[in-house]
Amino acid sequence: MAPNQMKVTCPACSLLCDDIVVKLDEHQQSMKVIANGCAKSIQFFEQTVTDSKPTINGNPVDLNTAINKAAEILKLANQPLIAGLGTEVQGMRAIMHLADKTGATLDHMHSDATMRNTLVLQNSGWQTTTLTEVKNRVDLLLVIGTDIVSSLPQFFERIIWNESTLFEQDTSTREVIYLGGGKGLDTSAGNSPNGTQPSVINCENAQLPEVIATLNALINGKNLTTDKIAGINLVDLQSIADRLKCAKYSVITWASSAFKFGHSELLVQAITECVRTLNTGSFKFSTRSAGLPLTSGDGDSSVSNVATWMSGYPLRSSFKRGYPEYNPYEFTTEKLLSNNEADLLIWISSFKPVAPSPNSLANHKLPVIVIGHPNMQFEQQPDVFIPVRILGLQEKGLMFRMDSSVTLPLTQIMNSNLPSLSDVCTQIELALNNHESGK
């Protein structure tokens, strides 16, 4: 590495590439991505960070005052909700501690998408794989309802069109099929280096449940009488089924965030059922297949894993009774706010300046504490805002990759005068203890 250069992990998407080469300018103030980056990582590492101070009702205060105010508000709350939760392992550990102590309910900004997968895990389970397996093994990639690259820009170049594999595969012969995704699908990344175009069989995602049900039936060898499903020719689906059965190691991937309709966990389940059938179907032992759920990022995998080992439950969970409870249908930010079941919102977003949605706050007067990215802007000033170091840029951390099998260190590349999220949580807890002991 040249001077001022280092290789770091990028938390900007859930691929979590850990070979991004960045270079600090001589004043250690700004940064350039030198190698291996993408649009998202450049945006993350080269962002201009505002010089931000804690505020109470929009007025700048010192950190102690903000911490004490936050503790005072928290002390008065009966049903605090800690949401957003854009953080990594260490931050989440501190939050879990605080939540247990204060009887808080926990929800992540991407829980809607995460829950679609978690519910399937809890209902039927699934058979999945991880990125290095895909990179070295996949011969047929079926992409359902997404183009992948809009959220994971380097997926194809790193995982599908890699130059070499462990098992002498010519990766340019890998087959890529897009199924569904609707308008605006960018399938260009699916073009093989040898010029082969991917198969694109499009429909609206809301139509995927019937399309995948049909695909399942075809994999099972059923004869169907219709010749079109959701505008898709049955022969095209039959061709997908046949190719899946002939593959050595097919990978079926989906992004549950793209399934924005009621009970779409059933669609996730149907997709995983295809994988299960391929591995155990009547043509048993002829093929291997595996699922690959794509996650949304902002620490969703990290938060879910930490919550699970520390409390027993993934999100959406609550400590309001003094012990952990899990309710994926009730402990949602939207419901708790609209039913006035929360009397305090603590919003956390330390990767991106994502403020709590003004809509969710419009109708109630509940106090709001925001802890997060220094560049955060508000339509409505929170009671307390505490800017914290940006994880992976100004603060080190540990982060789970989308496939949960790999946890990688985030590096502190630049200095910051701000506290870390963990420090803030710990200090709020200390301030709460002082309140309790009457100091």
Partner 1 sequence: MKAANSMSLIKLANGKIYDPAHQVDGIVKDIFIRDGRIVNRPHNDEPITQTYDLTGKVVMAGAIDMHTHIGGGKVNIARMMLPEDHRGNEQAHTDVCGSGCGHAAPSTLTTGYRYAEMGYTAGFEPAILPINARQSHLEMGDTPIIDKGGYAMLGSDDFLLRMLTAKQDQNAINDYVAWTLHATQAIGIKVVNPGGISAFKFNQRKLDLDEHHAYYDVTPRDILKTLSRAVHELGVPHPLHVHANNLGVPGNFETTLSTMGASEGFPLHLTHIQFHSYGNEGDRKFSSAAAQISEALNNNKNISADVGQILFGQTVTASGDSMMQHLNANHANPKKSVIMDIECDAGCGVVPFKYRDQNYVNALQWAIGLEIFLLSNDPWRIFLTTDHPNGAPFTSYPHLIKLLMDKSFRDETFAKLNLDAQAMSTLSSIDREYSLYEIAIMTRAGAAKLVGLRDRGHLGADAAADITVYTDNADREKMFAKPDFVFKDGELVVKDGAVIKVTWGATHTVKPEFDRGIEKDLLQYFDKYHTIQLDNFKIGNDEIENNGRGKIIVQPCEGRREKSV
Which residues would be at the binding site for partner 1 (CB under 8 A)?
A: 7, 9, 18-19, 89, 93, 97, 100-101, 118, 121-133, 135-137, 158-159, 164-167, 248-249, 279-280, 285-288, 290, 304-305, 308-314, 319, 321-326, 398, 400, 404-409
Angstrom distance (rounded) from CA 315 to CA 107: 6
Nearest residue (CB) to partner 1, 205 versus 422: 422
Strand partners, 106: 82, 317
Nearest residue (CB) to partner 1, 1 versus 2: 1
Report in angstroms how near the CB of residue 389 gets to partner 1 at its nearest: 16
Report in angstroms how near the CB of residue 33 gets to partner 1 at its nearest: 16
Report in angstroms how near the CB of residue 66 gets to partner 1 at its nearest: 24
Angstrom distance (rounded) from CA 72 to CA 157: 50
Nearest residue (CB) to partner 1, 182 versus 409: 409
Nearest residue (CB) to partner 1, 45 versus 313: 313
Report in angstroms how near the CB of residue 304 gets to partner 1 at its nearest: 8
Angstrom distance (rounded) from CA 373 to CA 390: 6
C-alpha of 395 from chain center: 20
Report in angstroms how near the CB of residue 237 gets to partner 1 at its nearest: 24
Nearest residue (CB) to partner 1, 319 versus 347: 319
Enumerate long-range contacts of 276-279, CB under 8 Å, 24 or more apart: 276/126, 276/127, 277/216, 277/219, 277/220, 278/219, 278/244, 278/245, 278/250, 279/127
Nearest residue (CB) to partner 1, 63 versus 121: 121
Two tokens at 228? 């079109």
Nearest residue (CB) to partner 1, 68 versus 256: 256
Report in angstroms how near the CB of residue 121 gets to partner 1 at its nearest: 5
Going by their DSSP bridges, the two strands 175-179 and 20-24 should be labelled as unpaired
Nearest residue (CB) to partner 1, 151 versus 304: 304
Going by their DSSP bridges, the two strands 140-144 and 175-179 should be labelled as parallel
Nearest residue (CB) to partner 1, 126 versus 385: 126
DSSP strands (E only) in 216-264: 228-229, 232-233, 249-255
Report in angstroms how near the CB of residue 65 gets to partner 1 at its nearest: 26
The CA-based dihedral angle spanning residues 379, 382, 388, 391, taken in that order and rounded to the nearest 10 degrees: -60
- Full strand arrangement of the beta sheet holding 59-60: 59-60, 55-56, 384-387, 368-372, 344-349, 80-86, 105-106, 317-318, 325-326
Enumerate long-range contacts of 334-339, CB under 8 Å, 24 or more apart: 334/360, 336/79, 336/81, 336/105, 336/107, 337/81, 337/361, 337/364, 337/366, 338/363
The CA-based dihedral angle spanning residues 86, 90, 93, 98, taken in that order and rounded to the nearest 10 degrees: -70
